[in-house]
Structure 1
Amino acid sequence: MDAQKALDVEKDSYTFLYRLIDILIIIICFNSALILYGEDFSKDYLIVLIFTLLVYSYLSESFQLYRSWRVGKFSRMIGSLCLVKLFCFFIVASSLFLLKESESYSRIIIVGWFSLSIISLMTWRYLAKWVKSIRRRSGLGFQDVAIVGLTSTGINLYREIIKNYELGFNFVGFFDDREPKRLGGMQTNLIEGDVNEAVALAKSGKIQKLYICLPMVAEKRIADIIEQLGNTTVDVLITPDFLLKNLMQARIGSVGDVDTISVFESPVNGMRRFYKRTFDVLFSFTAILALTPIFLVIGAAIKLNSPGAVIFKQDRYGLDGRKIKVWKFRSMSVTENSDVVTQATKGDARITTVGAFLRKTSLDELPQFFNVLFGDMSVVGPRPHAVAHNEEYRKLVTYYMLRHKVLPGITGWAQVNGWRGETDTLDKMEKRIEYDLAYIRNWTLWWDVKIVFMTIFKGFVGKNVY
């Protein structure tokens, strides 16, 4: 674990530098705006500066602005930066307006400051990228890398190395002990030698990284290679050939002195849980305030249309498979909540006139903002299924219950991609679970924001919703 700790320190130093430079740029731009406008630096402006830095830092972590950005994703990093600054400006401006303090500050200074800082933050990132590219073209900062194992995993890794020039990798070749006839038609011309030659290159310092892409069944061979490389300074990395696509986190941890790799674990942990919960509370509280008139209108319409309660509470599975009561506007003449729940179908006689409209437009789901506020649900997450459906499909769909590693949501990635409503065939449910698990594996707060906007434009209706 010493090597892992060293990598963590290096990564932390890199992100700390980015954070420090960003903060310095924001402060410099703030002072520049004051000087250009001829305004003195007062206590009021100091409060705004500190508040802005706190909001910017929070949003930066929420949008993972300082994570390690993969090659080819630089434009996405710039896009995230712009969104962070825009959200930051909106929050600061809204706070000043709501607190009736906006008259105490110059609008020109505030707007000029944010405009100058976003241009400066983008510029320094482009300069950093340009300097890195110059170094790469000059042959500086390159690492010679080799791959042990001419396997499908190794070929995929090789293609990524060749495609992503900015990684700064100089590919030396493949090294494999197997006879050509055992390589299954692989590109044997890529092989530079056997494993012993790769070890020799590592010991002589001619390569800096060695990727082991052998099948995991070759455990003894892998252990032997690692042991031989134990007295070298080469970076050794193992690329497993199984399970990767099903890992929820793939995070290395430890229990005492025993190392562990997470296979199924919620991505929303630590500070991430705090960020997502903050977003949920603020969004749901605002939504409830804004939608109160609509709640009253819908409630009155339900009462006038058919006898029964306005709000229907149904048992669903929540986080970690615990039962929760999900709130919905009643849309049927019955309120099923037993071990057997029949999904609504086209022309279902149980659906009321008002209920048909509510279900078609998803307005029946609006009371779930109270579930979000109470902490049983999230604004975005896998849609909660009836308990009876859960018990049925968990036996039929692989990894079905992993959708409960996060809070269920009012809307979700599956829903905005059209996989909502009736699941009358197994392949429809499998497709929904596929999208749910993709969301869980790759969750970010920015993705939540994206899904909310997608829901507004195309997530309220669907062809399979009855």
Structure 2
Amino acid sequence: MSTSTDNMRVDEAHGPVRRAVIDYATMPSLLIFCDAVFMLTLSILVDLASTSRAATGTLSAFDFTRPLGIGILSAVTFVLITTLRGHYKPWHMARATEHVRAAFVNWTFTIFFVATVIFCLKVGDDTSRLSTGIFAALGFITVPSSHWAMGLWLRRAVESGAVRGRPSILIGDASQLDHVFPMEILERLGLREMRRFGFAGVPASMASGSLSSDELETLKSAIQFARQQRIEEIIVAMPWSSLERLDAVRARLRALPVPVKLLPDEVVHELLDAPRVDFGSSVAIEVQRAPLSCIELAQKRVLDIAVSGIALTLLLPLFAIIAVCIKLDSKGPVIFRQRRNGFGGREFTIYKFRSMSVMEDGANLTQVQRNDKRVTRVGRFLRTTSLDELPQVLNVLLGHMSIVGPRPHAIAHDDEYSKLIAGYAFRHHVKPGITGWAQANGLRGETSEISLMERRIEMDLWYINNWSIWLDIKIILRTFIEVFRNDAY
């Protein structure tokens, strides 16, 4: 039998069916049309505003051929690049940050191609360098902005029901369906969930790979419903551990001329998060990525020098104020030095503003706890605001650390956790950082339980395997928000 979720029509559960005015399948064409019109209009307006004839009011003599040619070439190039990269798919446009970044990159390729065409065809003399340059520069702002606006409109249109998604049903084990996307996520993917058909409980027939009579009846009901409601897509959510059982479900769903998509279970989902690479005639999953390439290392180093150099220049007065406060508050040096393990496990000395009355750097270290008596009055403020970490910009400039990377731990703690947590040593495949993916997600302060450290290490390893320069920038921005939102101690 089906579970209780089977008998619920989503449209009925959420009240009257909302009237759709646009079909989801037409969205890519509509977005392409908007891009083409926008770029043609932008090219003409820029050329119109930058010519002396427009300034003198002799618009009748204005030649539309030149800006029209530039606009058409730019629009065709941009649309082709965006289409080939799959960025006109509505679900991609609904991801605002990712889509704006993609639009910026696609426009960059477009401008390089347009400039190459102008150079190769030797039409530079017939093209206004001023208007073309302004058109290109404005595009870096207006094109990503227009895509952000289109993505925002698309999300709101889907949520309001103005865009009609493809009617779909979900089939699978009740336990798996509980973890499937909620309706609003399915809507963003262009799907309108009509009903769920769940196999009750854990089937006793799983070991044999055959389907029980109840499961066969559920499939029969699903197929009948799909035919009556003209379902256009079926989503299956079942464990991948029994391939025979999956094949039995697939065999029966072949009676319907609609696409069937199988969602990964928890085990497979974790593997699919890893990058996929061509491996001969097959595809391999990269469960551990290679060290950063020379180009990637150069990108990261440029970002490190730029951010740390600017920070050191702007924060020098703050450094002086903090140093004076530390000296007036307690005896001891202003800067705390401690040995840490860096890239490849190589040892270096980390710099921090002293926030405690002790200068521990031995085999036995005690982590700072809440209301720790070793923390000075000024030190408590510095730790709460993370200002004690600021001198590490010197470590970044010296090349010991990076702005973003796994946080370096004391050598004594490295030795301890490397014995308790699998994969701990992999953190040393990149330079340690002032902040990291774990810190940007709120994992700061004491790790009183091994599970807290395991969670940090899990995030550090994810960062290493998924590194990009955009991820570093994202982490830097999120860290500022996290520092103001959550206190450390």
CA distance in 1, matches of 2:283, 2:146: 39
400-409 vs 288-297, which moves further: 400-409
Partner of residue 97, structure 1: none
Show the counterpart of 1:315. Answer: 340
Separation in structure 2 between the aligned mates of residue 70 and residue 268 of structure 1, nearest angstrom = 30
| Equivalent of 1:340 in 348, 351, 364 | 364
Q: State how far apart, in whole Å, the 2-side matches of 1:124 and 1:351 are.
A: 49
Alignment of 1:250-265 (within 5 A): 250-265=274-289
- Does the CA contact (< 8 Å) of 1:382 and 1:403 recur in 2? yes
CA–CA distance in 2 between the matches of 1:324 and 1:16? Answer: 54
Give the conservation status (yes or no) of the 8 Å contact 2:437–2:463: yes
Distance 1:123 1:329 in 2: 41
Counterpart residue type for residue 339 of structure 2: Q
Assess, with a 3 A threshold, how the Cα gap between structure 1 residues 360 and 448 changes in structure 2: closer, same or farther: closer
1:408 is aligned to 432
Tell me whether 1:217 sits opposite 2:244 in the alignment.
no
* Contact 1:316/1:386, CA 8 A, preserved across alignment: yes
Q: Residue in 1 aligned with 2:120?
A: none
Whole-Å Cα distance in 2 between the matches of residues 137 and 307 of structure 1? 67
Match of 1:92 in 2: none
Question: What code does the residue aligned with 2:175 have?
Answer: S
Task: Report how far residue 339 of structure 1 moved.
Answer: 3.6
Could you say if the C-alpha distance between residues 440 and 164 of structure 1 is closer, same or farther in structure 2, counting changes exceeding 3 Å? farther
Letter in 1 for 2:350: W
- Aligned-pair distance for 1:35? 5.6
Q: Which letter maps to 2:220?
A: G
Cα offsets for 1:324-362 (capped at 9, x unmatched) = 525213625654444432223467676677656644543
* Unaligned residue ranges in structure 1 (runs of 5+): 1-12, 40-52, 89-104
Match of 2:395 among 371, 378, 388: 371
- Residues 95-130 of structure 1 deviation map (CA, whole Å, 9 limit, x = unaligned): xxxxxxxxxx9xxx99x9699937972597269849
Distance (whole Å) between structure 2 residues aligned to residue 190 and residue 162 of structure 1: 29
**Partner amino acid for 2:416?**
E
The Cα of 1:286 is off from its aligned counterpart by 0.8
The answer on whether the counterparts of 1:153 and 1:213 sit within 8 Å (CA) in structure 2 is yes
- Tell me which residue corresponds to 1:125: 150
Question: Which of 50, 71, 77 is equivalent to 1:34?
Answer: 50
How many angstroms does 1:367 deviate by?
Answer: 2.2
Give 1:99's aligned residue: none
Structure 1 contact 249–264 (Cα < 8 Å) conserved = no
Secondary structure of the residue that 2:266 maps to in structure 1? coil
- The answer to whether structure 1 residue 285 and structure 2 residue 309 are counterparts is yes
RMSD (Å) for aligned C-alpha atoms:
6.2
CA contact (8 A) 1:317 1:387 kept: no
- Aligned equivalents of 1:306 and 1:131: distance in 2? 59
Alpha-carbon contact 1:340-1:388 (below 8 Å) kept: yes
Q: CA deviation at 1:386?
A: 1.8
Mark the CA change 1:127 to 1:181 in structure 2 (over 3 Å): closer, same or farther: closer
Q: 1:152 aligns with which of 161, 175, 185?
A: 175
Alignment counterpart, residue 263 of structure 2, candidates 226, 235, 239 = 239
Q: Which residues of 2 match residues 126-145 of structure 1 at below 5 A? A: 129=154
Letter in 1 for 2:238: L
Q: Does 1:450 align with 2:450?
A: no
Per the alignment, residue 352 of structure 2 pairs with 329
SS at match of 1:243: helix
- Which ranges in structure 2 are unaligned for 5 or more consecutive residues? 1-28, 57-73, 109-129, 207-213
Which whole-Å CA distance do the structure 1 matches of 2:309 and 2:385 have between them? 21
Q: Any conservation in 2 of the 1:315–1:326 contact (CA below 8 Å)?
A: yes
CA distance in 2, matches of 1:393, 1:256: 39
Identity %: 29
Aligned residue-pair number:
390
| Cα distance in 1 for residues equivalent to 2:167 and 2:31 | 25
The residue aligned with 1:164 is 186
Write the distance in 2 (CA, Å) between the matches of 1:126 and 1:455: 27
Deviations 1:210-249 (A, max 9, x none): 645332221344468789999x997564422233565583
* Structure 1 residue 261 displacement after superposition: 2.1
Q: In structure 1, the residue corresponding to 2:277 is in which secondary structure?
A: strand
Q: Secondary structure at the match of 1:385?
A: coil
3-state secondary structure, aligned to 1:149: strand
TM-score (norm 2): 0.55
Paired amino acid for 1:389: H
